[in-house]
Chains A and B, each alone.
Chain A
Amino acid sequence: MERLLALWIEELSVEQADGSSLRSLVAVLDALVSICPFVEPIRLGFITMPIRGPSRFFGGDDAVMDAVAAAVRDVTGYEVSLGVAEGLFCAELAARQRTVVPAGGTRLFRHVQPLAVLGHKELTTTARRLGLVTVGEFAELAPARVAERFSRTVQVLHRVARGELYELPAQRDKQLLARLRTARGEDVRAEEQMGFFGQRSASDDRAQAAAHRLRHRLGVDGVLVADVRGGRSPDDRAALVPWGAPRAAARDEAPWPGQLGSPAPTTSFRYPVRVEVLDGDNQPVRLGVRGAMTGTPSVLVLERGVRRRITWCAGPWLFIEQWWAAPRRRAHAQVILETGEAMLVTTEGGQWWLTGMYD
């Protein structure tokens, strides 16, 4: 089996509502083609390429990996996890463990992995009761024994464990290639923005033509269109996507509990600005464990040390989001400054951010 260089980019593995991870993946693929023409996207955030040819050209596996890591860093700014092994299944494991498995060493590498890497929870627990902990121990079971005890899915996993199959059934995203084509604009249907009832008028055509010209002038992120979705805070509810990019499919009109009501901020910072919120004694205001603030906010310190007195403050509205995964404990507060401006500030992990302005 061919040795594969696998790239795992954690930050791109999560689908973003504005499609940015898909576009970044396109950019990474375009950059990697100059290193190896046989680059293959597998899933969001996961790419492979054969390493034998590039390795000869660049003078060794390490040289190829340096070039690849530099290319990814240039394009996305993210660090990539690299790994080399034979077959897709082992290549992904190697990338996640940042390991280079030497030629011929893949069988050993696979056999020492814990059984959980096969991604089948029921199998993992059942096999542990049978005293099987690693992939290798599971592989040594006779196929007939596995067949009489486990489901068809597990039989497939067993063949992967034995090295008869090289990839897990769920490893590839089967829609990815079609979606990448759409993201590259090769699927022209995505470009059209429809008017009422899907009809296009002459004014729609003129606007399309102007947006086209402007995109040439300013680049893909130059012209944006908006989309309102469900969500709690204004930055979750609104998405600005590049004009012509495929829209996020989900449109949620249902009322969200705890949604910050209207009026919403007219400026919703894409990159929130670090600020400090101080109380009357010039002590930083923090969010206590019970969701109350430790003091009354009275001074907002903006960039470059600009201090503004807070004349009115409301909140905090506490949001503990996605407690089932990575919990984010955030709280929003609205403030009015002595200058008459109203702002939305957010605290997370002891740091305050300016997230919106009511201009």
Chain B
Amino acid sequence: MSDVTGSEYSSEHMFAFSDKRPALSDDIRAAIRPVTLAKTKTLPVAEPWRSLLPDGGLRRGATVGVQSPPGWGGVSVALSLLSEASAKGHWAAVVGVDDPGVVAIADLGLDLRRVLFVPRPRGAWAESAADLVDGVDLLIVRPPSRPAHAAARNLMDRVRERGTVLIALTEPVAPWPLPVEVSLDVTHTEWVASSRLESRSLTVRVGGRGAAGRGAERVLVVPDRRGRAVAS
């Protein structure tokens, strides 16, 4: 018993939070991730989305389906969902959006230093997305054709396990084959234009398993005159 006061039991070894923790090797540091508490399990979203999404943010491990006819603003909607989290320092990746307009993405508020683009994964979109799930917190996937059931299932499982947020961007002719936590469908689009394109108002129908106001339709302005997403 008297040994406890001996020299090898200094306070240094008794507390986990002492400075002298073992240095982790780079491989381990890349593989592990910090413990996340319930509070940090949602990633923040910008204002127009905060009132629309069930948890007031993007819940880690969830899949959000964004569906829009081509050219009706699906890309803008998906990207604007990322803006707040990206600006707060989370990594994001965009798979399958060919030739992304970088200026528009910067205007929406994303931090381009932490966005990876995979513009043309061709047949390997599911594998590419699966690779990225391990590396980023937010992932936009636009499948080049109607996604296969199994590929979608695998990706959603992986997303749930790793705590990433998946945003599946599809068109009505080739919808996402599985039910998603939150679905955002663009049902109407209208440009406001004077001597140039100024802004676009989108009608978005919110649905999905855990959605608060299921079936509610909201009007958003994406992009506005400064290229951002705002509530109308």
Contact = CB atoms under 8 A, between A and B. Distances in A.
A342 B71 contact: yes
B131 A214 contact: yes
Q: Which of B31, B79, B98, B116 has the most CB of A within 10 A?
A: B116
Nearest to B137: A203
Interface size grouping (class) on chain B: 35 or more
B75 A267 contact: yes
A265 B71 CA distance: 11
Contacts of A269: 99
B71 A262 contact: no
A196 B217 CA distance: 38
Contact of B98 (A204, A267, A339, A358): A267
A209 B107 CA distance: 28
A262 B227 contact: yes
Given A270-B99, A334-B196, A225 B128 contact: no
A130 to B, nearest CB: 55
A148 interface: no
A263 B107 contact: yes
A342 B29 CA distance: 45
Contacts of B5: none
Nearest to A263: B223
B135 A206 contact: yes
A216 to B, nearest CB: 9
Interface string B15-30: 0000000000010011
Nearest to A238: B102
- Which of A207, A266, A312 gathers most chain B CB within 10 Å? A266
A268 B104 CA distance: 9
A358 B197 contact: yes
A238 B119 CA distance: 15
Contacts, number: 195
Interface in B104-147: 104-107, 112-119, 121, 124, 127-128, 131-132, 134-137
A337 B71 CA distance: 10
A314 B199 CA distance: 14
Contacts of A334: 193, 196-197
Contact of A217 (B26, B71, B124, B135): B124
B195 A228 contact: no
Contacts of A261: 196
A182 interface: no
Contacts of A343: 71
B75 A263 contact: no
A217 B129 CA distance: 12
A205 B30 CA distance: 5
A210 B196 contact: no
A213 B116 CA distance: 13
A243 B89 contact: no
Interface in A194-227: 194-196, 202-211, 213-214, 217-218, 222-227
A17 interface: no
Nearest 6 CB-CB pairings of A with B:
A210-B135, A341-B71, A238-B102, A262-B227, A263-B223, A264-B103
Interface of A: 193-196, 202-211, 213-214, 217-218, 222-228, 234, 237-240, 243, 261-270, 312, 314-315, 334, 336-337, 339-343, 356-359
12 contacts: A195-B89, A202-B29, A209-B30, A224-B118, A237-B102, A239-B102, A240-B100, A264-B103, A268-B102, A336-B193, A357-B71, A358-B223
Interface of B: 26, 29-34, 69-76, 79, 89-91, 93, 97-107, 112-119, 121, 124, 127-128, 131-132, 134-137, 189-191, 193, 195-200, 223-227
Given A262-B225, A263-B107, A264-B103, 17 more contacts: A195-B113, A206-B33, A206-B134, A207-B114, A209-B30, A209-B135, A210-B131, A210-B135, A214-B131, A218-B118, A262-B223, A263-B104, A264-B104, A267-B101, A334-B197, A343-B71, A358-B71
